[in-house]
Amino acid sequence: MRSLRTLMAAAWILGIAPGFAGAQTSPAPKDLLKFRPTQKGFEYDSPSDASAIAACKVETVTSGKKHVGYALRDGQGKLLRRFVDNNGNGVLDQWSYYQDGFEVYRESDLNDDKALDECRWMNAAGTRIATVSGTRITGWKRLSAEEASKVLVQALVWGDLSLLETVLATPEELSTLGLPKPVIEQAAAASARRVEQVKALQKDLKGWTGQTLWNRLDAMLPHLIPADAGAGQDVLLYENAVIFAGAPDAPINPKEVAFLQAPEMVKVGESWKFVELPRAVDPSKPIVAAEGIIRAAIYGAQGTGGGPDSQNPELDEALRALAKFDAEHVNDVAKKDVAQFHVGRIPLLRAVIKVARPEDQLGYTKQIADSLAAAYQTGLFPKGLELLDALIGEDKKIASYAAFRKISTEFAAANEEPGANPLQNQKKWMASLKAFLDKYPKADEAPDALLQLASSFEFNAEEDEARKYYEQLARDFPETDPGRKGIGALRRLDLVGKSLPPLKATGLKNEAIDAEKFRGKSLLVTFWATWADPVKRDLPELMKVYQKHHDAGFEILGISIDNDRADLDAFLKKTPLPWPQVFEPGGLEKNRLATELGIIALPTMILVDPKGKVVNRNLRTAAELERQLEKLVAGKDGVALEVR
């Protein structure tokens, strides 16, 4: 019987004896629950209560008329497991595990050799893809910087040296980036001493236990060293990133738990790697952190004086003081504490600037501007604006940044004043933006200023003015994020009467989504997010419109602009929606689909007729949609809903 052969093969691969091997029927839920992932360190649903297991149901998975595997659902119908023959060769080769009904982890045999080749984390579990030999991770096809830091913490806690090595760049990998010889030689020397290095590091991990969990990665903006600076290709790296970890479900106490400082992280292909082992930092004791060598080696080899060849103890001391201060205030939430935190950072940042390399000073000066703005906005530091003005006059390199931060700070503070007049404040803010662009037309902040102006004019229904600024964005700054948004906005403003641009993505159930497949039906594409209250308030009415017109050929496609997939999953768990949903990272500012159509407000609903032509590009409520659909049904716009 084919189904039994596939299940037996999967059990053999995972090293689990199949208790149902001699059965002539589908396996019981308890049998499928015996399967476990080969990797640990993530959450997935696995009922243990006898009544919960008894409520589970096993269903066959088919492809066409062929039986290709089994799926397990809980008593509420949510998926728990899915084991299938993905290649049609009669052997299970894909094992999936779920949380809250969404796939979070998958193991695959890609070459039909009855051994695992790949592990993938997805949805709430992350984005990484690992290559596997047996049950051991041997490398990464894709690994974000955040997930690399999480894997590193797990490897240290578990004492898994082989896992640790997968997130440390090898001399060969550094060589493929075209890095100078000293960098490669240092990596090779460190690799030879890895065991003793790890033992020394573990001894310094104050407050860490076998239950310690990764918390977060903190880092400044990544550096990009262009290929023409001396490397074999563009090199993308983080410097002085900080990794926090702590006990499960407990706030981090920096005086009791060591954190890690990573001198450098570098991107190799689609994976981020540590150039060397991070250092443990105990805020209660002085420690000299090693300085990264990549930029110093590249620019030093080029003779530009881009970085020192030796450590800078004064800089190390200043950075250590700043890191200690930040760690001590990581849990500040009260407005008074937030104000004190930002004011307290300023002298520490000035101390760093005093001894930092010239090319690094601007970044720290921008942090001073950020702290002044944040402290002022609490209402407890009125001197903030005066100091921002002083910063504007201090150095032309920081002038535009500080001036731009001052504009947004004044606007935010004005709207928080009792009896504030939002319209009057907006006019003043827009005038300030125009003055800023007149003074700094080519500044790094100019694209953001242009987008803010264009968006505001569009909100105010002044589309001619909005187009002017969108066009300037598209013309002068096409390679920036705001520039791409402006290009998309111009495309959206001209949609009516034209075909919807290609819209292809992957749905929440890993299904392929293509708006073209809705041709012949009327389609509403709705950009929304769970944090947008107007959207949530209108959802019941939108549901009524969908139910009323769905049988007549009306469909909805939801494009979530949430910042975190977990927020969307949690919302849909409580409020299921019957239409397909798409989620891609980036939020309102950087989501790919939102950028392609220049989405600036939520909800934005675009109605497409059965011929694929856009009827309305700016629907905001279900009531507006209902009126537009009535016109379609009546044929007033030359189209009609399909009747089934």
Angstrom distances, CA of residue 77 to CA of 35, 256, 573, 602: 19, 44, 12, 31
pTM given for the model: 0.56
Q: Residue for token digits 């959206």?
A: 492
pLDDT digits (tens, 9 = 90+) for 341-377: 899 999 999 998 999 888 788 888 998 999 999 899 8
Whether residue 513 contacts residue 505, with contact meaning beta carbons closer than 8 Å, is answered with yes
Whole-number percent of the chain with pLDDT over 90: 49
pLDDT digits (tens, 9 = 90+) for 444-481: 999 999 999 999 999 999 999 999 999 999 999 998 98
Which range in 3-7, 253-257, 430-434 is most confidently predicted, on average pLDDT?
Answer: 430-434
CATH 3.40.30.10 boundaries in the chain: 504-634
Predicted confidence at residue 313, as pLDDT, reads 80
pLDDT digits (tens, 9 = 90+) for 49-100: 889 999 999 998 887 778 888 999 999 899 999 999 887 777 788 999 999 8
Predicted confidence at residue 254, as pLDDT, reads 59
Q: Identify the H or E element spanning 545.
A: helix 533-549
Predicted confidence at residue 635, as pLDDT, reads 60
Homologous superfamily in CATH for domain 504-634: Glutaredoxin (3.40.30.10)
Which range in 64-78, 296-310, 483-497 is most confidently predicted, on average pLDDT?
Answer: 483-497
Angstrom distances, CA of residue 96 to CA of 25, 31, 55: 22, 15, 20
Backbone angles phi, psi at 642, to 5 degrees: -70, 135
Predicted confidence at residue 6, as pLDDT, reads 35
Q: Which conformational region is residue 339 in: left (phi greater than 0), alpha (psi within -120 to 50 degrees), or beta?
A: alpha
* Average pLDDT of the segment spanning 205-223: 86
Helices (H), 76-166: 145-158, 161-165
CA distance 581 to 528: 10
Which of the four pLDDT bands, split at 50, 70 and 90, describes residue 218?
confident
Show the tokens assigned to 216. 């977060």
pLDDT digits (tens, 9 = 90+) for 130-188: 998 888 899 999 999 999 999 999 999 988 888 999 999 998 888 888 888 888 888 88
Whether residue 633 contacts residue 554, with contact meaning beta carbons closer than 8 Å, is answered with no
Number of Cβ atoms within 10 Å of the Cβ of 397: 11
CA distance 429 to 453: 9
Which of the four pLDDT bands, split at 50, 70 and 90, describes residue 17?
very low
Angstrom distances, CA of residue 215 to CA of 167, 212, 243, 260: 17, 9, 8, 11
